[in-house]
Amino acid sequence: MTLDLSGLAVALATPFKASGEVDLPAYRKLVRHVVAGGADFLVPLGSTGEAATILDAERDAIITACLEEAGGRPVVVGTGHNATRQAAALTKRAQALGAQGALVVTPYYNKPTPDGLVAHFAAVAEAAPGLPIVAYNVPGRTGLNVTPPVLARLWENPQVVAVKESSGNLAQIAEIVRQLPKGKVLLSGDDNLAVASIAVGASGLISVLGNALPRETAALVAAARRGDRKEAIRLHQQLLPLMDALFLESNPIPLKAALRMLGLCGEGLRLPLVPAVAATRTRLAEALCLSTEGTFPGVI
C-alpha cells in the first residue's frame, strides 16, 4: 500500500489510571487533541507510549482506540521488539487490526550485526505482507546506530519505506538524505532538530512535543517544509524551551507531567519510570508559559 509519511506525526503517550491500568478514555481524549491540532499521522506504542511496559493483552485496545479516533489519518503502530519472532507477531497483529504502517525499532540489547539487522526486518516484513515499515534508529535507547551503509541494505526491502532518525547526528541525517532511494523517506525523530533536518531534506517529524502542543508543532513543521525560514526559526525559538524541558528526564517522564498540567491526562508511568522531580516540573511550567506565549494558565 502507498502511505504518505510527510508532515507531522505524533508519538502518542499512553495515559495510565492511578491503579496502573491503561486509561483508554484519557487516551482517546489525547488522540482527539492531537488530531484537532493538525497531526498528519499518528504513532501509538512507541518509546513515548511506554511500549516496553505495555502488556501484549493491552495492545489491541490501544491500537483500536487510536484507529477509531484518528479521523481517517494514518496510524503507524510501534511494533518493535528485540526478539524477531515477537516483533513479527506484533506487526502481523497491528496489520490485522487495521494499522496503515508499523514503526519498528532496531533490536535493543542483542547488538545484532548488519546481517542480523537485515534478517530481522525481512522477517518482520514477511509476517505482514505489503505493510509499510518505518525503521526506527535511536542509538541512545538501543546501543545500535544504523549507519548510512547499513540503512542502504534495509532500503532493498520494498516494505521498508522510511526511517525515523533519532541519532541526533545532523551530518548523518544529511548523508542519509543524500543517498535516499526514490520513494524512501527520512523523518526527524527529534523535535529540536526538526527544522534543521527538514532543511537538509527530511520529509517531516515524529514528535514528542506534539502531544502537548500539536497546533504549534504542526505550524513549525509546515513552515519548515514550505521553506519559510523566518517563520520556522521564530516557531523553533518559541518552542525550544519546552522541547528542552521535555527531555530533562527520560521521555516520557516530563511529557506526562506536562500533559497533567494541560489537563489532558494523569502523569502516571510504569516502573521502572517514576514521576518527574520538582525541578523538572518548575522548568516545564516556565517552558509552557514561554512556548504558548503566556497563554498557559499554570498547573492544573
Q: What is the 3-state secondary structure (H, E, C) of the chain?
A: CCCCCCEEEEECCCCECCCCCECHHHHHHHHHHHHHCCCCEEECCCCCCCHHHCCHHHHHHHHHHHHHHCCCCCEEEECCCCCHHHHHHHHHHHHHHCCCEEEEECCCCCCCCHHHHHHHHHHHHHHCCCCCEEEEECHHHHCCCCCHHHHHHHCCCCCEEEEEECCCCHHHHHHHHHCCCCCCEEEECCHHHHHHHHHCCCCEEEECHHHCCHHHHHHHHHHHHCCCHHHHHHHHHHHHHHHHHCCCCCCCHHHHHHHHHCCCCCCCCCCCCCCCCHHHHHHHHHHHHHHCCCCCCCCC
Cα three-residue angle 217-223-225, rounded to 5 degrees: 100
176 near 151, Cβ under 8 Å? Answer: yes
All cell numbers assigned to 164: 525515523
> Is there a catalytic annotation at residue 27?
no
Say what the alpha-carbon torsion angle 120, 124, 126, 131 is, to the nearest 10 degrees. Answer: -140
Catalytic entry in 17, 29, 109, 136 = 136
Q: Residue 114: is the preceding peptide bond cis (ω within 30°)?
A: no
- Which of 92, 164, 184, 256 is the catalytic position? 164
Q: Is 164 labeled as catalytic in the residue annotation?
A: yes
Annotated active-site positions, please? Answer: 136, 164
